[in-house]
Amino acid sequence: MKSVVAPMVAQAASDGSRISLRRHIKTLMLALTASALLAVHWSSSDDNLLPRLLSSSSYDDAPFRSGCAQPDPLVPSKDSDLDQAYNHISSAAFRNATVRRLSGAVQVKTESFDDLGAIGEDPRWDVFYDFHRYLEKTFPLIHEQLKVEKVNTHGLLYTWPGSDASLKPTLLLAHQDTVPVPPETVDSWTYPPWSGAYDGKYIWGRGASDCKNQLIATMETLELLLEAKFQPRRTVILSFGFDEECSGLRGASSLAAVLHKRYGDNGIAVIIDEGSSFEQAWGTLFAKPGTAEKGYLDVPITVRMPGGHSSVPSDHTSIGVLSELITKIESAQYPTRLADSNPYYTQLQCGAAYSPDFPSKLKKLLLGRLQGWRRQHTCAGKPDQLALEAAKQGPAIRYLMQTSQAVDVISGGVKVNALPERATVVVNHRINVGETSRVVKDRLTALAGEVAARHNLTLHAFDGTKAGQEPPESITLETNEHELEVAPVTPADGSDAKSPYAVLAGTTRALYGEEVVVTPGIMTGNTDTRHYWGLTKHIFRFSPGFDPEDGPGLGAIHTVDEKVSVLNHVNMVQWFVMFVRNMDEAEV
C-alpha cells in the first residue's frame, strides 16, 4: 500500500491546483477502496495480497480458541466410600480381576453374520445365551439389584432408577457381537482369536477392542458403584445390542424402540457408545468424542444381457458392460468439502489454537474461513481450498470431508462357455456431512445412463425394481435396507458448563490432564447410535480408554491380532465411574 499511496500524496502536495488536488484525493480514495476489496475478495492463489499480509505474527490464536473452548477438569464431590471404590480401580487386585473378566468375555464366541436367519430358527444366534450366563455369573450385584430386561430375545437392558424423576437418564451403549474370524486367518494370530490371552500388557482376541472392552467396563462401573452403596439421583441405563456388526436391525433397533416408548423424544440426557478415541496430532494429544457420523448407502448395480454360447459371443457381455460402468465410477472422486457443521472444522480450530506444530498455511486458510473471506467462493461451488489443504494429511483425514465410494462385492457368470446373463456389483458409500444420499444417486444415475445408452440398454435407477426382477437388457440401480442419511450433529460447545459435552470433556481432562485437548470428532463408520437419534441430541461415540504407549488405531479391530491393553481398559473404567458420577451431579 505504501508504494501506491506515497507518490499520490507527494504529487498532490506539489500541485498547486485545487482541481488537481481533488483529482489526486479522489484517486487515492479509489485506490484505498480497491485495496480493501482485494482483501475482502481474496482468492485461493498464494500470490494474492491477503496471504502475504497474514503472516503468523500478524494475528493471535483468539479466533480459534473461541471455537474450541476447553472446560475445566470436572471431579465429582468428595465421598469416602465412592472415592475408595474409585481408588480401588488403580490397584493390582482390580487389575487382575478385570483381566479375568474381559478375558472371559472374549472367550465367549459371539460372532454375527450378514446372512443370519430369524431369531429362534437360526442356531447361530444361540451363542448369546452363553454370553448372558457369563455376565450373570460375573456381575452378580447388577443382576440382583437392577432391573434386567431381555429385548427381542438377546438384547440386554439394565436400568438403575434414580431418586429424581425430573432428571433425564444417562444411557451407556455397547454391543455383544463381534465380526467373524475367517477360518483361513486363524493361524495368523499371535494368540488364538477366542483365547482371551493375556501377555502381561494386552488382552488378545476378537472383541477385545470392539467392543467387549467397553461393555465390560460399563458393567464393572455399575458393579463398583453398587458395592460402594451409590444412590444415583439420575437414572442410569445400559443397553447392549447383539447385531451391531450387521447394522443393529434386530438388536439396537428393538432396544431403542423400548426406550423411546418409555422416555419419549429427547427423553435421555446423554448417550455414550463406542467410537473414536485419542489421537496425537500437530504435537498435541486430542480426545475426539464422535459427535457425528457420515451417512451410509450401498448401491447394488445389475446388468442384464442376452446369454448364448461363448463361441459366438456378443461384442460386450454383461460383465464387460458392468466393468465399463465400474471404471466410470472410479474415474472420479466426490469433491472434498468441509461444511461448517462438520466436527472436523472444529478440530482444525482446536489444532490452530493449541498445537505448536499446526501448519501455517492451514492456519491462514482457516482464519480466512472463520472471517468469511473464503465463504463466497466455496458456496459458489468452487474448490474448497481449506478442505483440500487439510486433506493433504492423508486419506484418513480426507474422507472426513469427502463422500467415499468403494466397489466391494462383484459376481457374474456361471460357466466358461456360457455368456453371463447377469452381472452384479455392490458399491458402498459413506456420505459426507453437508450432503445427502441424493448426491450419490444422481451421480450414479447419470453414469449408468451413459453406459446404458451406449449399449442400447434400458435404465432402471432407484425405481423400486428388486433383485432378481431386473428386466432383460437393462441396467438396474437399487438401494437396500441399510441406507442412512448423515447423523444429526451433537452440540459440542465446551463453554456451556451445563451441557453434556462439557461434562464429558471435563471428565476427560480430569482423568488425563489439562494438556489433553477435547474436540468433537466424526465417525466415518456407523454405530448402534443410528437407532437412538430420537432419544437425545447429545450422542457421543467415544471409547474413553487410553494408553500412551499404544500407537494410533483401534487395536486392530476387524482383523488379525485384535487386542487391548489392560491400562487402556482400566482407564476406561475410571472414566466411566467418574462420568456417571459427574452426570449425576450435573443439572443438564
* Residue found by looking up cell 482383523 in the block: 559
Choose among 270, 287, 272: nearest CA to 587: 270
For 21, the grid coordinates are: 488536488
* Buried-exposed string 15-26: b where 16+ CB fall within 10 A, e elsewhere: eeeeeeeeebee
177 Cα distance to chain centroid: 19
* Buried-exposed string 451-468: b where 16+ CB fall within 10 A, e elsewhere: bbeebebebbbbeebeee
For 86, the grid coordinates are: 474409585
Q: Is the peptide bond before 211 cis (omega within 30 degrees of 0)?
A: yes
Beta bridge partners of 304: 422, 474
Asked if 177 is an active-site residue, the reply is yes
Q: Which H/E stretch holds residue 6?
A: helix 2-14
For 54, the grid coordinates are: 497474514
Active-site annotation holder among 220, 223, 243, 244: 244
End-to-end Cα separation, the chain, in angstroms: 53
The three-point CA angle 178-121-181 to 5° equals 25
Which phi-psi region, left, alpha or beta, contains residue 287 (left: φ > 0; alpha: ψ -120 to 50)?
beta
CB of 521 within 8 A of CB of 289?
yes
Asked if 184 is an active-site residue, the reply is no
For 546, the grid coordinates are: 487410553
How many beta carbons lie within 10 A of that of residue 544, not counting itself?
A: 27
Active-site annotation holder among 177, 243, 245, 562: 177
* Residue found by looking up cell 494410533 in the block: 552
Using CA atoms, how far apart are residues 234 and 236, in angstroms rounded to an integer?
6
DSSP letters spanning 333-369: PPPB---TTSHHHHHHHHHHHH-TT--HHHHHHHHHH
Choose among 387, 379, 396: nearest CA to 362: 387
Amino acid of residue 188: S
Using CA atoms, how far apart are residues 576 and 287, in angstroms rounded to an integer?
15
Choose among 204, 237, 234: nearest CA to 221: 237
Q: Which H/E stretch holds residue 237?
A: strand 236-241
For 242, the grid coordinates are: 447383539
Choose among 504, 558, 526, 105: nearest CA to 275: 526
Using CA atoms, how far apart are residues 405 and 184, in angstroms rounded to an integer?
28
Active site residues: 177, 244
